[in-house]
Amino acid sequence: MSAVLAEIENLSVAYRTENGRTAALSQVDLAIEAGKRLAVIGESGSGKSTLALAITDLLPNDALVEGEIAWPGLPHLPAPGRDIGFVFQDPGASLDPVLSIGEQIAEVAKNHLGFGWREAYIHACDLLERVRIPQPEAALRAYPHQLSGGQRQRVAIAVAIAAQPKLLIADEPTSALDTIVQREIVSLLDRLVSESGMALLFITHDIALASGFADAVAVFHESRLVEAGAADEVLSRPSRAYTRLLIDSHIDLATPPLIEGAQA
């Protein structure tokens, strides 16, 4: 058994709304294991993004929160951007259009790893190579609009892992991409986890996409954690009817295994 990085205990979150409150998470218990890939699966509105915001302590100030998140795998409370990296659905949301790609990655390394600019640029170039951006030295000088959607997402991943976080949260990182590029990005995340030892929390509504690489899955429905456990067990022998329904309606059993292929 691997070490627990974060332990979510009896977590409930509600948002204040004009008509009262919306429950976004209800009494959730969930462990995030160090170095493992946890897929958080559920339909839109089931509470997945709220979970990510709660983990990173970025919920809106007026959200009502009960329960606890403990970090036995860290010596201190996590700092977003340093101990926890984020990748969002739209890389445009995390990349600055007026800064070169090199500047954006180097800035993170400078701020969080204490590198000087030169060292930070060498680190940035290395990261672009790791996320398989062709001609990384030239790409350092490029701007986001000069890249394809898939390449922008690769750069956003490089920015997210630049401070060598212990946890990478990817919130629907492939939803805006076409199917082939989706699989390439998932495959890239999968490899980065193996290489770096960071944990990955992969949020998706697509159970088929998650089933190819997750070590563990957590299925959410209407703010509740319906089922969680090792991916092969939950996906082959779900104990809850809702999980079975998701699997039957989404998994294409003919889907080939993930292979990291051509550039996105």
> Which residues here bind ligand ADP, judged by CB under 6 A?
15, 17, 22, 24, 42, 44-50, 60
Q: Closer to ligand ADP at the Cβ: 63 or 99? A: 63
**Which of 55, 127 has the CB closer to ligand ADP?**
55
For the CA atoms of 212, 214, 217, 222, the dihedral, rounded to the nearest 10 degrees, stands at -70
The H-assigned helical ranges of 43-148 are: 48-55, 91-94, 101-113, 117-130, 136-139
Strand 216-221, strand 199-204: pairing: unpaired
Name residue 38's beta-bridge partners.
201, 216
Residue 97 CB, nearest approach to ligand ADP (Å) = 26
Closer residue to ligand ADP in complex, CB, 42/73? 42
Q: Report the C-alpha gap between 57 and 65 in whole angstroms.
A: 11
Shortest gap between Cβ of 23 and ligand ADP (angstroms)? 8
Six token digits for residue 70: 């403990």
Q: How far is the CB of 44 from ligand ADP (least distance, A)?
A: 4
CA distance linking residue 90 with residue 119, whole number of Å: 29
39 vs 131, beta carbon nearer ligand ADP:
39
Shortest Å, Cβ 5 to ligand ADP:
21
